[in-house]
Structure 1
């Protein structure tokens, strides 16, 4: 598996990856985007921003980069950076299929993405990803699997994914929603010719949303690499809007709320890679301080007490506007 490259890394940031959801398209649900991105969200402006962030992340030891077909032009931006950086042959590249970007580079589209977990969608998007990333694509994930997703029961799709795996592509899935744990456990039972199909799982886990934790531990024990997304809860855990207990711990450690929030995830023994969703160089630099955060038992207990009911968390997330 490509993640074996990360397992042997010794840099403090080897377990942090950079996700491109917030910078591959002009509109997203993260808080603070007006301040982070400003008014110029042209293709070239976001391409330049993406390349700057990739350069900075790579220079500071980050070796996993995460894109998706629905993240606007994220694959295109990442492919261009890889072509210009032949020295970066040690990075692990992940992307996702299952959502189609439909906002046409606007922030006020009626629908920004459309979900489709069919075999036809996989074949179309696999070809699109291959055209951009070629053999640099290491990991291909089903985007946002839920317990009722047809991707969990479509045997023909499973066979095609197994074919891709036999050719060297790592196959994984991501999850979203209040039933993440159920989706993870269902995916762990999917086999082809008696062998588990999925080798990675990417789920939302953060100070406020911890419900997937036990299932992610089970996935880790089953041999899957666990990737954690939305460790900042789409910006809810950064700055003055962060919960008071989180701000208190950050003050005690002398580091940012974002670094503390990511540190909480990093300390989970099942967490293989934790994604930074930074949109600015300053945010990235602050995120990458996470390994230096000292979380003793008292601080961990105070942070653990902030967990919300998953239905409450996901209902609030669903109300966040695209902007």
Structure 2
């Protein structure tokens, strides 16, 4: 399995991946994105930005890249980068299906993405992903599974996903919402022919929203690779917006709030890959200091106290503007 390459890597950044949600489309919900991207949100500008981030990430030892059908043109930008560098064969590529991008390259669209976990959407989006990434795709994930998702009970879909797995594709799922733990546990019970269907799980987990932690530990113990997304809480943990406790710990360590927030996740023994959602190269390089952060004792306890009620966290996230 491709993720075995990550499990045996020894570079300090082997457990950090690069997510392309913030740079594959002109609109997204990360705080401070207006300043990060500036006025030019053209496809060419974001393609260039994506390639700069990928170059910097690869040079620093990052070997997992995460895209999605709904991240605008992220798969296209990633495919262009890979095709221009045929000598690079050690990058693990993941993408997701289940949301369709509908914003028409506008940051002001009324609807940015539409969710559908049906078989027809899987077949359409799998073909679209294959047309761009082809044999470079290692991991295909169901995007944002919730406990009521039909993807958890659709036997025909499970059979198609199992067929893809038999052909060498790793099958995973991501989760969102206040009931992530329930979704994770339900997905762990999905089997085809007596064998577990999913080999990876990608969930939101950060100092403000740690509720999925016990279920992610169970997933790890069951043999799944755990990928953590939104470790920066869509910018709420970045320096301009960070809670006082996080700022205090960052000041003690001499590193950024972002590095401390990601280091808090890396302390979990079940965390296989923690995604950086950086929109600029300086942000990425700051994120990559996370493995060097010392969070022993009181520092860790101070950050543990920042957890919010999951329902309140997700309600606030749902109110973040696309910009």
Q: TM-score normalized by structure 2?
A: 1.00
Residue of structure 2 in register with 1:24 after alignment: 24
Counterparts of 1:163 and 1:34, CA distance in 2: 42
Counterparts of 1:121 and 1:54, CA distance in 2: 29
Residue of structure 2 in register with 1:263 after alignment: 263
Counterparts of 1:105 and 1:280, CA distance in 2: 20
1:210-230 CA distance string (max 9 Å, x none) = 000000000000000000000
Counterparts of 2:159 and 2:313, CA distance in 1: 35
Counterparts of 2:40 and 2:196, CA distance in 1: 45
Q: 1:95-244 maps to which residues of 2 (within 5 A)?
A: 95-244=95-244
Q: TM-score normalized by structure 1?
A: 1.00
How far does residue 8 in structure 1 lie from its aligned partner after superposition? 1.4
Residue of structure 2 in register with 1:250 after alignment: 250
1:13-66 CA distance string (max 9 Å, x none) = 000000000000000000001110000000000000000000000000000000
Residue of structure 2 in register with 1:297 after alignment: 297
Which structure 1 segments of 5+ residues have no match? none
Residue of structure 1 in register with 2:42 after alignment: 42
- Compute the RMSD of aligned alpha carbons: 0.4
How far does residue 167 in structure 1 lie from its aligned partner after superposition? 0.2
1:14 aligns with 2:26: no
Runs of 4+ in 1 over 2 A off after TM superposition: none
How far does residue 86 in structure 1 lie from its aligned partner after superposition? 1.5
Residue of structure 1 in register with 2:320 after alignment: 320
Residue of structure 2 in register with 1:276 after alignment: 276
Counterparts of 2:249 and 2:87, CA distance in 1: 39
SS of 2:111's partner is coil
How far does residue 240 in structure 1 lie from its aligned partner after superposition? 2.5
SS of 1:11's partner is coil
SS of 1:263's partner is helix
1:49-98 CA distance string (max 9 Å, x none) = 00000000000000000000000000000000000112220000000000
Counterparts of 2:240 and 2:135, CA distance in 1: 43
Counterparts of 1:207 and 1:126, CA distance in 2: 34
How far does residue 313 in structure 1 lie from its aligned partner after superposition? 0.2
SS of 1:206's partner is coil
SS of 1:95's partner is strand
Which structure 2 segments of 5+ residues have no match? none
Counterparts of 2:231 and 2:240, CA distance in 1: 17
Counterparts of 2:7 and 2:187, CA distance in 1: 24
How far does residue 298 in structure 1 lie from its aligned partner after superposition? 0.7
Residue of structure 1 in register with 2:62 after alignment: 62
SS of 1:96's partner is strand
Counterparts of 1:310 and 1:52, CA distance in 2: 35
Counterparts of 1:212 and 1:297, CA distance in 2: 23
Counterparts of 1:33 and 1:291, CA distance in 2: 25
